[in-house]
Amino acid sequence: MYLVFFFLLSSFGFTQEPQGPRGTLVEKGTRKPLADVSVFILPEKLKAVTNQQGEFVFESAPLEQACTLIVNSTGYLKYEESLPCGKISEKKIYLEKKFYTSFETTVTGKYNKRDDQAQSLTQEEFLKAPGSFGGDPVRAAQNLPGIAQNGASAQIIVQGASPDDTAYLINGHRVPLVFHFGGLSSVITPEAVDRVELLPSGYGPEYSRAIGGIIGLTTKDPKRDRVHGIAFIDLLNSGGLIEGPVDEKSSFLLAGRYSYIGQALKVVAAQNDNFELTAAPTYYDFTGIYERRMDEKNRLKTTFIASRDELKLILSKAADNDPLLRGKFTNRTEFFRLIPQISTQLSETTRMDHSLGLGRDSILVDIGGRYLDVNSNVLSHRSELLKEWSGKSKTFVGLDNQLNQSDFRINLPNSYEIGGVGTPFSVGEARKFDDTETLVQLGAYVRQELKPSADSRWTFLPNVRFDHFSVNDDSVVQPRFQLRYQQNPSLLYRASWGKYVQSPRPQEISDKYGNRNLRSPSAYHYTVGFTKDFRSGGSEGLELTNNYFYKELEDVVNPDLERNYVNNGSGTIIGGEVQAKYRKAEWTSQLVYTHLKSRLHTPGFGTRPSENDQTHNLNLIGAYGTERWRYSARFRFVTGNPYTPVAGATYDSDNDVYIPTRGRIYSQRFDPFNQLDIRVDRNFVYEKWILTAYLDIQNVLNQANAQNVEYSYDYREKKKVRGLPILPTIGLKGEF
């Protein structure tokens, strides 16, 4: 009877939920709901706990009496407000964090890292890194062990290898570059990147076609709680980002950026009689991401990336040592990728991942009517099946394929170059042709993780990779092996060995410009190292990583007067890295040091340092944070790059040009590179948004770091070309 009576009351709305005060607790500035936080009413000693949406409700309270609302949560400033209890109802409390400039020192990242050799930076880390031009992920990655500075180039040197031996990936798919013009910023808006990852040597079988190393960017998953937005502007570029839910199952992200750095360079050009800047160097990029949870087992994520860089000059008079170098100069690089990814959880122990990369690459270099114009349609494909057999074993089986259909328009002389010193264009035999070529690269791999028992400290990873290159009809099996020993939760030992291979570059293998019979360059990698965490489970203390590596290079491609290019080179790279990170209260510091020797052997020239032999590479990084301020600095010291001196020159009367006589290949070095960068961040926190102002100054001491040599027409005089002078960047960023 009582149950029937209660049911009738409920049906007609006569039962009541608690009528006490209620409200919502969110983080000030970000509006993130705060769950499992206690809210108190004094002096009645009433308590409520927030749910996952940040909502709280008190069962009862004297609504007409005065009371004090108190929230005191770890990591946040204490909130206290006196008001009538009745006015608490539907109140939204904005709880302020103590620190909005927090800095995590764990460079290896907290995501589920598969490869022990990987180094990574999360978004929280690279956005506030000193010397990164407003938080650029790839510039911040230069703080990682093994990455060397490469002047103003858009290429990256990894552990003394050639920049051409490094692959650039976005969500696992290869792209032509990750840096914009001059290496100032990456091709994706930083806030759209989840992490940047470095695979320097001894990496697993999932990737290939890069005997030096791999730089990979992973885009973030769009936020799903509400619409978020970012807008930023500084002295180099401006842009914005918006992300949020589309419906209950899907979300989106759109980001774009435009640079106006060329306006500053126009001022330089106006003061130089040798060239006229007809169109300022510009770059822009766009990123779009769509994610959908189709059901409990299937997830779709689609990423679209577009990037364009362009520089136009008019050389009003010929270069001193080459009469043909005059007139119009154009350099344009652009590409786009559409990358759909589907992940399917087939069972608790089995997962299948598929992804495609569809796009187009375009490169144009035009020097006074001599040009290289390449347009490529690109289709790449990755699939992987993961099976966990037990607590002791995992198997990864995957495919990694790429198809390039390229149209070439070339009008360039055959300019022989060795040791970084080329013969003038005026001397080389003119070669002009159009061509179309289809390049197929097929890859397959098996990765096996084996433990003797579920609780064993040892993990064995016998891996194998297969690659086929249609360009030279070369098929290569690459065994790879990794070993892991977890002595205790804070100490990990690791070792690896493997073979790595890559295809010759298109110009090297071309029928009309190169040598069709080239073999694929390869390398054997050997690594050992350890990581020790002295923090004893806490957030403060020391972390230490130490690695040693050795690379043996085979079939290195070199220029040749008779056959254009030949596989007559070999080399070795040996070195060690140490990374020490320390955190104490508001202070963080980091020491990153790499010592290496990179040597190449070329018949007729002997064994000599490679162009990328930077013996010492030291980074010292420090940061101090207060409630609203953060100060950080980076000092970098790098051994000067080797270069080939010119011992003299011979006059060619037919072409009215001097032909250089090279000295010992890479026998001299530039002065050591040293640079101090500082950064200051200031946050202004409002209830519904955050404004950040930052000052990022590169080369504070205005060091004249030489990065190239420029010769007079007869090579009797030379001057060193310096890198960027002191370069401040002042910016504002608003987030809601």
pLDDT for the residue 5: 42
Mean pLDDT of 477-488: 96
Higher pLDDT, 148 or 551: 551
Q: Encoding tokens for residue 680? A: 């200051």
| pLDDT-wise least confident of 116-125, 375-384, 479-488, 551-560 | 116-125
Nearest one of 338, 326, 350 to 426, comparing CA atoms: 326
pLDDT of 373 above 80: yes
DSSP one-letter string for 205-217? TT--S-SSEEEEE
Q: What confidence score (pLDDT) does residue 15 get?
A: 42
Q: How many C-beta atoms surround the C-beta of residue 349 within 10 A?
A: 12
Asked whether residue 245 carries a pLDDT value surpassing 90, the answer given is yes
Contact 238, 548 (CB under 8 A): no
Region of 114 on the Ramachandran plot (φ > 0 left; ψ -120 to 50 alpha; else beta): alpha
pLDDT of residue 102: 44
Question: In the prediction, which pLDDT does 109 show?
Answer: 39
Q: What are phi and psi of 672, to 5 degrees?
A: -55, 145
Lowest mean pLDDT among 114-118, 427-431, 647-651, 653-657: 427-431
The yes-or-no verdict on residue 262 having pLDDT over 80 is no
Percentage of residues in the chain having pLDDT higher than 70: 88
3-state helix, strand, coil in the chain (%, to 5): 5, 60, 35
Regarding predicted confidence, which is higher, 75 or 400? Answer: 400
pLDDT (tens digit, 9 = 90+) per residue, 432-474? 888 888 899 999 999 999 999 888 999 999 999 999 999 999 9
Residue range 223-238: mean pLDDT, rounded: 90
Alpha-carbon distances, residue 457 vs 487, 491, 530, 543, 727 (angstroms): 6, 11, 14, 20, 50
The structure tokens 């500082």 sit at: 678
Query: What average pLDDT does range 142-154 have in this prediction?
Result: 74
pLDDT score of 322: 55
Amino acid at the residue 467 = D
**Which run of H or of E encompasses 3?**
helix 2-11
**What is the percentage of the chain residues whose pLDDT exceeds 90?**
45
- CA–CA separation, 95 and 69 (whole Å): 12
> Would the pLDDT of 584 be above 60?
yes
Q: pLDDT at position 732, please?
A: 92
| CB proximity list for 451: less than 8 A, separation 6 or greater | 391, 392, 393, 458, 459, 460
Three-state SS for 40-63 is EEECCCEEEECCCCCEEECCCCCC
The Cα–Cα gap between 206 and 446 comes to 8
Mean pLDDT is highest, among 1-5, 321-325, 351-355, 622-626, for 351-355
How far apart CA 173 and CA 337 sit, in angstroms, is: 9
Q: What is the pLDDT of residue 658?
A: 85
- Does the pLDDT value for residue 553 go beyond 50? yes
Q: Which domains does the chain have, with CATH numbers?
A: 2-95 (2.60.40.1120), 228-735 (2.40.170.20)
**Identity of residue 499:** K
Chain mean pLDDT for the chain: 85
Q: Is 260 left (phi over 0), alpha (psi -120 to 50) or beta?
A: alpha
Beta bridge mates, 621? 590, 634
In the predicted structure, residue 481 carries a pLDDT above the cut 60: yes
3-state secondary structure (DSSP) of residue 245: strand
Q: What gap in Å lies between CA 184 and CA 562, rounded to an integer?
A: 39
Question: What are the φ/ψ torsions at residue 270 (nearest 5 degrees)?
Answer: -65, -25
- Residue range 280-337, pLDDT digits in tens: 567 889 999 999 999 989 999 999 999 998 877 655 544 555 545 555 678 889 999 9
Residue type, 115: D
- CA 475 from centroid of its chain's CA atoms: 30
Q: Is the pLDDT of residue 699 over 90?
A: no
**Residue in the structure block whose two tokens are 């009538």:** 84
CA atoms 669, 671, 672, 676: torsion sign: negative
Answer yes or no: is pLDDT of 61 > 80. no
**Which own/partner pairs from 61-66 qualify as long-range (CB within 8 Å, at least 24 positions apart)?**
61/20, 61/21, 61/85, 61/88, 63/21
Position 182 scores a pLDDT of 63
pLDDT band at 427 (very low <50, low <70, confident <90, very high): confident
Q: Are 570 and 599 in contact (CB under 8 A)?
A: no
Is residue 138 scored above 60 in pLDDT? yes
What local confidence, expressed as pLDDT, does residue 281 receive?
67
Furthest CA-CA distance within the chain: 117
Task: Locate 721 and state its tokens.
Answer: 């070309």
**Mind listing the pLDDT tens digit for each residue in 507-541?**
788 877 788 899 999 999 999 999 999 998 788 89
pLDDT category of residue 708 using cuts at 50, 70 and 90: confident
Q: What are phi and psi of 523, to 5 degrees?
A: -155, 150
At residue 152 the predicted structure's pLDDT band, cuts being 50, 70 and 90, is low
Highest mean pLDDT: which range of 409-413, 510-514, 679-683: 679-683
* pLDDT value of position 208: 94
**DSSP annotation string for 165-211:** GEEEEETTEEES-SB-GGGSSBSS-GGGEEEEEEE-SS--TT--S-S
Q: Taking the CB of residue 637, how many other CB atoms lie within 10 A of it?
A: 15
pLDDT at 3: 40
pLDDT-derived band at 714 (thresholds 50, 70, 90) equals: confident
The arithmetic mean of pLDDT across residues 174-194, rounded, is 84
List the structure tokens of 42: 């004094």
Measured distance between the N- and C-terminal CA atoms of the chain, rounded to whole angstroms: 55
For residue 276, is pLDDT > 60? no
Q: What are the CA-CA distances from residue 348 to residues 25, 334, 344, 351 (Å)?
A: 36, 42, 11, 8
Confidence of residue 272 (pLDDT cuts 50, 70, 90): low
104 against 646, higher pLDDT: 646
Please check whether residue 30 is in contact with residue 223, taking contact to mean a CB–CB distance below 8 angstroms: no
Burial of 561 by CB count in 10 Å (0-12 exposed, 13-18 middle, 19+ buried)?
exposed
